[in-house]
């Protein structure tokens, strides 16, 4: 009952935010004219390109996962991982947080391998590497934007982007440090001693399997670096999705701003506030793109088309899930 109430609440939050945003923009004649014109005159050729880029990014996500599983010594066909990844993206749009998709990916892989601990760890490490790639891309884009793109005569914009840069740097350091701690042999041994306690003893075998699965990554520097590189490629592809949408809306937003803001928005959407980022994604687009001077109606239109492309691009995952089920 508690889970159902939580889901209903998050759905209500998302729908309420969307209703508020539509009311806000459609009740203002000026904003209404801009928004409706932007939506009505969209070039669907660019939007189809954006859809193709998004689905390609899903495939590169599967490639990152494939590299990490190989580092564990687990031979899983790439096509199977691609299928599980699409299923995960499908469930991302219908469960309260993006972590729901990770659960479905891990469930599918565990059934394939019959090794639950290794499957769970691979999904966790894949998520962490992905988050590091998002934050790294944001930091690099911020450095370029602050030092080479922003006009010196616009101190407000420079200050805004410096703040975003700081957030991205802090996020990158925290995620990377957390991953290093997770791989620490001494820490895992220390935690393992707790499972000698009577009330935790039944979980000890599973914990030790998790610890061993994590330990498999400890010296796999080449695999981790390769997975990180693929993760950065995925982030760049998702940025190109927004660039294609902007082109389809006959608008002009500097790509460097997209590569800076897109990763931060994606990471922020992990917070389980609404289902599939409905409503919250639009709020984040309006806020962050407002920092770089993008008109609010345009930012809202961009978020609507991005949401639609995410839904369409993840639909194959639903079909694959039904076929497997």
DSSP states of 159-225: HHHHHHHHHHHHHHHHHHHHHHHHH-HHHHHHHHHHTTSGGGGGGHHHHHHHHHHHHTTTT-HHHHH
User: Of 140, 129, 134, 124, which Cα lies nearest the Cα of 64?
Assistant: 129
Identify the residue with better confidence: 248 or 110: 248
Q: What is the pLDDT of residue 96?
A: 55
Identify the residue with better confidence: 208 or 280: 280
The token pair at 282 is 């639009």
Size of the chain, expressed as the number of residues it contains: 325
Q: State the pTM of this model.
A: 0.90
The token pair at 208 is 């030790």
- In whole angstroms, give the CA distance from residue 147 to residue 322: 50
Could you list the residue range(s) of the whole structural domain that residue 25 is in?
Answer: 2-324
Q: What is the pLDDT of residue 325?
A: 59
Confidence band, pLDDT 50/70/90 cuts, at residue 113: confident
| DSSP 3-state of 228 | helix
Q: Kindly report which listed range (51-55, 146-150, 277-281, 311-315) carries the lowest average pLDDT score.
A: 146-150
CA 51 to chain centre: 16
- In whole angstroms, give the CA distance from residue 276 to residue 13: 12
| DSSP 3-state of 41 | coil
For the chain, give the mean pLDDT: 88
- In whole angstroms, give the CA distance from residue 130 to residue 310: 18
User: Of 237, 239, 233, 245, which Cα lies nearest the Cα of 264?
Assistant: 239
Q: What is the pLDDT of residue 262?
A: 93
Q: What is the CA radius of gyration of the chain?
A: 21
Q: Report the domain count for the chain.
A: 1
Give the model confidence (pLDDT) of 274-299 as tens digits. 777 889 999 999 999 998 889 999 99
Give the model confidence (pLDDT) of 13-58 as tens digits. 888 999 999 999 999 999 999 999 998 999 999 999 999 999 999 9
Confidence band, pLDDT 50/70/90 cuts, at residue 239: very high
Quick one: what percent of the chain has pLDDT higher than 70? 95
- In whole angstroms, give the CA distance from residue 185 to residue 214: 9
Give the model confidence (pLDDT) of 73-87 as tens digits. 888 999 999 999 999
Q: What is the pLDDT of residue 152?
A: 57
């Amino acid at each position: 009952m508690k889970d159902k109430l939580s889901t209903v609440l998050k759905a209500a939050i998302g729908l309420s935010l969307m209703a508020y945003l539509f009311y806000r923009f459609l009740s203002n004649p000026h904003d209404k004219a801009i928004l409706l014109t932007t939506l009505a005159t969209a070039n669907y050729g660019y939007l189809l390109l954006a859809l193709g880029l998004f689905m390609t990014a899903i495939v590169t996500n599967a490639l990152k996962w494939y590299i990490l599983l190989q580092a564990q010594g687990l031979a899983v066909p790439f096509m199977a991982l691609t299928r599980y990844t699409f299923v995960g993206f499908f469930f991302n749009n219908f469960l309260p947080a993006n972590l729901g998709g990770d659960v479905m990916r891990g469930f599918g892989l565990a059934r394939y391998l019959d090794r639950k601990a290794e499957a769970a760890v691979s999904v966790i490490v894949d998520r962490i590497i992905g988050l590091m790639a998002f934050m790294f891309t944001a930091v690099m884009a911020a450095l370029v934007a602050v030092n080479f793109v922003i006009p010196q005569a616009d101190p407000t914009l420079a200050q805004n982007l410096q703040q975003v840069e700081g957030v991205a740097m802090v996020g990158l350091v925290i995620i990377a440090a957390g991953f290093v701690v997770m791989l620490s042999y001494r820490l895992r041994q220390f935690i393992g001693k707790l499972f000698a306690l009577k009330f935790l003893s039944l979980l000890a075998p599973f914990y030790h399997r998790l610890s061993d699965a994590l330990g498999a990554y400890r010296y796999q520097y080449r695999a981790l670096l390769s997975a990180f590189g693929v993760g950065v490629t995925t982030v760049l592809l998702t940025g190109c999705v927004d660039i294609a949408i902007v082109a389809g809306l006959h608008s002009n937003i500097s790509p460097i701003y997209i590569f800076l803001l897109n990763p931060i928005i994606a990471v922020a959407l992990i917070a389980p506030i609404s289902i599939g980022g409905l409503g919250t994604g639009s709020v984040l687009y309006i806020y962050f793109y407002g920092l770089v001077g993008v008109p609010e109606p345009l930012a809202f239109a961009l978020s609507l088309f991005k949401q639609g492309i995410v839904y369409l691009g993840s639909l194959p995952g639903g079909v694959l899930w039904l076929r497997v089920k």
